[in-house]
Structure 1
Amino acid sequence: MTVIEQMGAKAKEAARVLSVAGSKKDLALNSIADALIEHKDEIIKANNIDIKYGKEIGLTPSLIDRLTLGEDRIKGMADGVRKVSSLPDPIGNVISGNTLPNGLTVTRVKVPLGVIGIIFEARPNVTADAASLCLKAGNAVILRGGKEAINSNKAIAKIMRDAVEKVGLPKDSIQLIEDTTRQSSTELMQLSDYLDVLIPRGGAGLIKAVVENSKVPVIETGVGNCHVYVDKYADIDMASEIIFNAKTSRPSVCNAIETILVHKDIAKDALPKIKEKLDTKNVQIRGCKTTKEILGDDIVDAEESDYYTEFLDYILACKVVDSIDEGIAHIAKYSSGHSECIITNDYARANKFKKEVDAAAVYVNASTRFTDGGEFGLGAEIGISTQKLHARGPMGINELTSSKFIVEGNGQIRV
């Protein structure tokens, strides 16, 4: 047995205990939250090693930001764990039930998925978020982070494992693969005897590799190529504020926007105001021919590839469109199906956009930055699913469950 196979076997045993752990799971989660705060200095010390390495290998400022854990972010992690502990336990909830003509009662109830594998990149807070959600839903988890955050991940995982064991649950409910080579990632994708589902969290390359190579069922979390369409009936001040927030509040996250589409009838008035706001954060605009005519030659020419790109940086593609239909068609072609927004004061056009745009989250007059499990009232999230099977959108504890049928009788046989 390899090391990872041994981890899988231990996780499977732990999952059996967690499936019937009941309120003990909340004790474990609160123990984790306390331990994260208590050991924050250890986490920050380990994180500083990762930050230094990230700078040495040339990570962009936005990726360094994703990697960094200060006291506020650690407190946020602990608060997120407590929030998960306060959520209703889905396990055992009755989904449906009825009595058949033959007297059998058939009840469908929520149960854990079992053992969940998560492959993720440079955000070490995912370690706590993912583990707490899996634990609350009665699942064991095997985490495999990237080399950029390995020291942070090791520190957080050890703290969580000790905290879980302290309240009498198996420490192997939470495990971290410390080998960050490609081989460990590949082996986890092949662990079909032990894993019930695999969830990738990261960039397009990681997600594509997992989807194409995994022998374990995959819940595909999405690349965030998100758009804002500024309709001809938009409030320009509102549009500039929403675009500024959706692009610049945290450009390195998947719910940040990457392209704006502006109706031709409002473009001459809207684009200069939008650019003036974006200039305060030095956002590079890559625009179409009409965008350049309105804003001047300092705008970079937009290439076809720019409209497909999740920049994760202070870069924004821009296109002037002739109609709402052209805007919707552009989104249909280039969108990753994550989060899409229309800015308009026209009720009918807002409804048209809501009905015709196919995405996990569709917004009217609000920033796409709200696509988040915490913001949607789900507690933390395991990721944003852009697929349509099992789960779509922010995945909270309910999306980490399955169901089983309970059938009760008094001697019935099938004839």
Structure 2
Amino acid sequence: MTIKSSPNLLLTSVQRSYDAYLALETSDSRDRSLGIKAMARGLSRSFDAILEANTLDLEMSREMAIPDLLIEWLKLTPERLSQTVEILESLAELPDPIQQVFNAPYRLNTAGTYCQLMPLGVVALVYETFPELGAIAAGFCLKTGNSLLLRGCNSSTHSNQVIADILQAALKETELPTGCLEVLSGEQGASIQDLVTQHQYLSLVLPYGRPSLVEQVTQWATAPVLKSAMGNCYLYWSPTVDLDMVRWVILDSHASEPDPVNAIEKVLISPNQNPSILVRLFNILQEKGFELRGDEILLAEFKDYLKPVKASEWNTPYLDKIISFKVVNNLSQGIAWMNQYSSGHADCLVTDSYAESRQFATEIDSALVYINNSPRFDRHPNQGESLFLGVSNQKGHYRGLISLETFTTLKQVVQGNSKLSI
């Protein structure tokens, strides 16, 4: 089935993506892996051109008074580009995920039953800065047999376009269908709202950026949305745990670059916490450039270290080197507070109590739970088969680390025996 194209640029691109998905769905996994390798080679040969375009975007963004946070996300380096190439190379070497077959959760008499992972279809990535994210998403989608539509923000127009041109030129050298990677921009008149309402063609919309972007896309979209999340992660500090563990978990969580996905921004402490240990932690964090805030109880005792925190901040991510502290009576109260105010995608506990660890793991309503470990996010943490695009905090299509499996759906097959008489 081939859909007739439309003179409308956006609709033509969406239709071309849909046609490409129909071809990718039955494509050979080796061809898709070769396409990913071609994209990696194209990027590795083009660092100078990408960085030159990125410099232009940075200059324009500063003139337009774009927030420093977005400029940091926008700024590409040879290291960030090298990591992107490594991720693509690793994706190309992985086994084909859409060939995985699972036992079905049910049995039917006289019939064989099984489940198989299949591509979703057409995926639209709406992303704020992070120019390299388009290349990484292209690798994820191609590996899983999906076509991809990219819609970046205006502040990264030049970087996005150069990277897209490189990727599309690389894909032309392969046997993959035209349209498996389409690029749209605001300058072409392709609005985000128009894109995410193409539900007759789109199987998934993935917004990536500040919470305001994610929520806006979610409100507009008529196609299914996978909400990514970053920031506003909580830590409960059990009073018997030493300072070194807490210091490491907090600082390491902020070390992921450039995405502050799982950075701890709020710390809940016991009223029995040793004041001298708190002062030591405050000094360490301030020396590392953190701004510290506290509730009324802590502010009264540590006014030389803390600024007041507004009530609205407890459920709002800072996405910056800011940490707020709050006193809660016990772990149960801390869990209740987190379940109400955290972003719900990654929350932490440091404790030496097994009972507390089990209570936290059972009662906390978060996609990712970390106990005595840093929640630091890395797209390629083990240089092996673990590859992640981001983290989702929603319940529904997918929750947790956004991996290759996130871009697949399940097909259930029931195969009877034609030789049986009726």
Which of these residues, 89, 92, 100, is aligned with residue 108 of structure 2? 100
RMSD: 2.2
Q: Identify unmatched segments of 5+ residues in structure 1.
A: none
C-alpha distance in 2 between matches for 1:298 and 1:272: 8
Displacement of 1:180 in angstroms is 5.5
Displacement of 1:5 in angstroms is 0.8
Alignment TM-score, normalising by the size of structure 1 = 0.93
Indicate whether 1:68 and 2:61 are aligned: no
- The letter of the residue matching 1:104 is A
Partner of 1:18: 24
Contact 1:111 1:403 in 2 (8 A): yes
Contact 2:345 2:368 in 1 (8 A): yes
C-alpha distance in 2 between matches for 1:347 and 1:390: 32
Alignment of 1:321-336 (within 5 A): 321-336=328-343
For residue 48 of structure 1, give the secondary structure of its aligned residue in structure 2. helix
Give per-residue Cα distances to partners, 1:240-263, cap 9 Å, x unaligned. 222122246558522112111111
For residue 43 of structure 1, give the secondary structure of its aligned residue in structure 2. helix
- Which range is displaced more, 340-349 or 293-302? 293-302
- The letter of the residue matching 1:309 is T
Indicate whether 1:163 and 2:170 are aligned: yes
C-alpha distance in 1 between matches for 2:38 and 2:76: 20
Compared CA separation, residues 293 and 378, structure 1 to 2 (3 A): farther
Displacement of 1:366 in angstroms is 1.6
Give per-residue Cα distances to partners, 1:137-189, cap 9 Å, x unaligned. 00000011111111111111111111112122124211111226896101111
For residue 311 of structure 1, give the secondary structure of its aligned residue in structure 2. coil
Partner of 1:253: 260
Displacement of 1:26 in angstroms is 0.8
Displacement of 1:109 in angstroms is 1.3
Displacement of 1:413 in angstroms is 10
- Which range is displaced more, 66-75 or 379-388? 379-388
- The letter of the residue matching 2:62 is K
For residue 394 of structure 1, give the secondary structure of its aligned residue in structure 2. strand
Contact 1:31 1:163 in 2 (8 A): yes
Which of these residues, 147, 170, 175, is aligned with residue 182 of structure 2? 175
Give per-residue Cα distances to partners, 1:266-324, cap 9 Å, x unaligned. 25133212211111232111111222234334521111011112111121111122211
- The letter of the residue matching 2:334 is G
- Which range is displaced more, 106-115 or 136-145? 106-115
Which of these residues, 356, 376, 381, is aligned with residue 375 of structure 1? 381
Displacement of 1:379 in angstroms is 4.2
Taking only the aligned residue pairs, the percentage that are identical comes to: 30
C-alpha distance in 1 between matches for 2:276 and 2:398: 40
Compared CA separation, residues 56 and 241, structure 1 to 2 (3 A): same
Give per-residue Cα distances to partners, 1:90-114, cap 9 Å, x unaligned. 113212258732x333332111001
Compared CA separation, residues 248 and 79, structure 1 to 2 (3 A): closer
- The letter of the residue matching 1:202 is G
Displacement of 1:378 in angstroms is 5.1
Contact 1:140 1:173 in 2 (8 A): yes
For residue 348 of structure 2, give the secondary structure of its aligned residue in structure 1. strand
Partner of 1:5: 11
- The letter of the residue matching 2:250 is I
Indicate whether 1:85 and 2:92 are aligned: yes
Indicate whether 1:109 and 2:150 are aligned: no
Q: Identify unmatched segments of 5+ residues in structure 2.
A: 1-5
Which of these residues, 394, 399, 402, is aligned with residue 409 of structure 2? 402
C-alpha distance in 1 between matches for 2:380 and 2:169: 26
Contact 1:50 1:152 in 2 (8 A): yes
Alignment of 1:41-52 (within 5 A): 41-52=48-59
Contact 1:197 1:219 in 2 (8 A): yes
Compared CA separation, residues 414 and 140, structure 1 to 2 (3 A): farther
Contact 1:271 1:294 in 2 (8 A): no
Displacement of 1:212 in angstroms is 1.6
Contact 1:108 1:406 in 2 (8 A): yes
For residue 326 of structure 2, give the secondary structure of its aligned residue in structure 1. strand
C-alpha distance in 1 between matches for 2:86 and 2:102: 30
Contact 1:252 1:313 in 2 (8 A): no
For residue 269 of structure 1, give the secondary structure of its aligned residue in structure 2. helix
- The letter of the residue matching 2:319 is L
Partner of 1:35: 42
Compared CA separation, residues 412 and 385, structure 1 to 2 (3 A): farther
